[in-house]
Amino acid sequence: MTSSDLNWDAIVIGGGHNGLVAAATLARSGRAVLLLEAGNEVGGAARTEEFAPGFRVSTVAHLLNRLHPDVVKTLELERHGLTVEHGDFMPSVALSKDGPLTLHGAYGEVLTGASPSEQSAWKDLRAQLLRYAGVLKPFLSRRPPGLGGMSLAEMTGLGQTALALKRLGKEDMRDFLRVLLMNVYDLLDEQLSDDRLKGLLAFDATLGSHLGPRSPTSLLGLYYRLSGEIGGLAGAQVQPKGGMGAVVAAIRAAADKASVSVRPASPVAKVIVEKGRAVGVVTQGGETLRAKAVISAINPATTILELVGSREVDTGFVRKVKNIRMKGDAAKLHLALDRPPQFTGVDAADHKGRLVAAPSPDHVERAFNPSKYGEFSPEPVMEITLPSLADPSLAPSGACVLSAVVQYAPYALREGWATGKPRFLKAIMAQLETYAPGIGATVRHFELLTPADIEARYRMPGGHWHHGELQADQMLMSRPVSGWSGYDTPLEGLFLAGAGSHPGGGISGAPGFNAARHIIAMRA
């Protein structure tokens, strides 16, 4: 008997980390699950890949800061090889010509390099940010509340949030509501004075979105970042040993243990719809596979417009799906260096941290401005890691890997990326040179992935790592589209489980996990 004769309980489309989490969670409930991955290996944008001979890097996502504890616990990821120690927490270093400033521990438990008054202001602001992010945290992890016909569990969840809000106390609650949709720039101006610290926070708030620090609602991005936790601590970040591929390997091991059938190199051509119900898929190889449920952990627009087809859904839904904004602004740079670079003023330990080149909020804003008009930042801002320092297996002996997320690199570059890419690389290298003089001469190989490259290589439309802008109007009940936020679709039996669904992107596993739990609860 071949697998196509089987009637699967669930077919998961897409072997990114969310697809794997969904598949493993469903399989653990006793379901027969088949996972179809288009590429030759699973992991999607959470892979460790060789980009130059002997040099390996986490190719898209390179930091782990929000893997959901329920995912870790339910899938027993620690047993499957995922370990996070407190000592693994990476500091964040704000690079500046005035000398660096460092946030140690979980998002700056200790701040060094700043004046005593700034340290005290940061202590207050950090506590406030974490408190407010904590209120949003349940919202940003569970299935979003349905607006019609709420279940008891949903009501309870909402009630808990209301209670958390209440616990803030009157003054704090007022302030929470005041700043909720504010821009990060103004909030930072209210409370801090050090441009280096403000630049770092402004960068984090806008990382991965088409917003500048002065854009309304940009503070939400920072809350999203701080609603994540790793190793039990909110705001912490680690570089997994072996790169992001190691995290996926642990999830894959959990999936294998739960007897998920994983089939790489099996791109899906079509979701089969019969009488308004998704009943299976046809692969690009022409194989028909039937299942009681089809879970798409790929992009929502690709799922609906290409796999299902607009003919199976209403015009209004097609319109909503087509209107999901998902043009990425983040590029990824990988450098193979002859030797570890020396960032001016940064000590050896901090070189293993996250180095953020965003010297002031104005600088971030100015980097953003051209992207509105289809141009890249002439002085881009970036988040740099040197993963081979902590994990020498990633580079040949003595050499070094540099991995950086660079903004802003608009997906639809007006001049086109064919000519734009070399020019953008030059702009990036010029920035790097100011912080680490001499780095350019040590570059042995480079790889620059623009959003257009990320789209092509990782099947992420717009090259957007969230599979849809993570902004107020595309979050919560409106993610991926309003009215369909609970992982359901208008087609019975078809579910969405990727980053395009609530809560969004980043290596959290939350969309996949929530979708699987929703399906399990439905059939229980």
Consecutive H or E run containing 262 = strand 261-263
If the CB atoms of residues 306 and 433 are measured against other proteins, the closer one turns out to be: 306
Cβ at position 320, least distance to other proteins in Å: 9
State in angstroms the smallest separation of the CB of 284 from other proteins.
19
> Shortest gap between Cβ of 385 and other proteins (angstroms)?
41
- Nearer to other proteins (CB atom), residue 170 or residue 311: 311
Contacts with 371 (C-beta within 8 Å, 6 or more apart), sequence order: 210, 329, 377, 407, 408, 409, 410
Nearest residue (CB) to other proteins, 480 versus 506: 480
Give the binding site for other proteins (CB under 8 A).
273, 276, 305, 309-319, 322, 490
CA distance 189 to 184: 9
CB-nearer residue toward other proteins: 207 or 308? 308
- Closest to other proteins by CB, 202 vs 324, is 324
Q: Are 407 and 330 in contact (CB under 8 A)?
A: yes
Largest CA distance in the chain: 72
| 350 secondary structure, DSSP code | G
In whole angstroms, how close is the CB of 317 to other proteins at the nearest point? 6
Q: Which residues is 13 bridged to in the sheet? A: 36, 296
The secondary structure of 64-125, three-state, reads ECCCCHHHHHHCCCCCCCCCCCHHHCCCEEECCCCCCEEEECCCCCEEECCCHHHHHHHHHH
Q: Are 470 and 311 within 8 A, CB to CB? A: no
User: What's the min distance (Å) between Cβ of 315 and other proteins?
Assistant: 4
Question: 26 or 293: whose CB is closer to other proteins?
Answer: 293
Residue placing its CB nearer to other proteins in the complex, 360 or 489 = 489
- Alpha carbon distances (Å) from 510 to 144, 158, 397, 482: 12, 18, 37, 19
Q: How far apart are CA 69 and CA 509, in angstroms?
A: 10
Q: In whole angstroms, how close is the CB of 281 to other proteins at the nearest point?
A: 18
**By CB neighbour count within 10 A (0-12 exposed, 13-18 middle, 19+ buried), where does 276 fall?**
exposed
Cβ proximity to other proteins, 189 vs 314, nearer residue: 314
Residue with smaller CB distance to other proteins, 267 or 490: 490
End-to-end Cα, the chain, rounded Å: 29
Minimum distance from CB of 147 to other proteins (Å)?
A: 12
Strand, coil or helix: 267: coil
Which residue in 265, 298, 295 sits closest to 283, CA to CA? 265
Q: 308 burial class (0-12, 13-18, 19+ CB within 10 angstroms)?
A: buried
Nearer to other proteins, 165 or 305 (CB): 305
Kindly report the length of the chain.
524
> Between 178 and 322, whose beta carbon lies closer to other proteins?
322
Give least dist CB 319 to other proteins, A. 5
149: its two tokens: 């016909």
Please tell me the distance from the alpha carbon of residue 156 to that of residue 168, in angstroms, as a whole number. Answer: 19
Q: CA angle, corner 499, sides to 333 and 497, nearest 5?
A: 145
Give 333's strand partners.
Answer: 404, 448
Sign of the C-alpha dihedral computed for residues 352, 218, 461 and 375 taken in this order: negative
Least Å from the CB of residue 487 to other proteins? 17
| Beta bridge partners of residue 381, listed in sequence order | 407
Q: Rounded to the nearest 10 degrees, how much is the dihedral formed by the CA atoms of 8, 12, 18, 21?
A: 10
Query: What distance lies between CA 83 and its chain's CA centroid?
Result: 20
- C-beta closer to other proteins: residue 232 or 316: 316
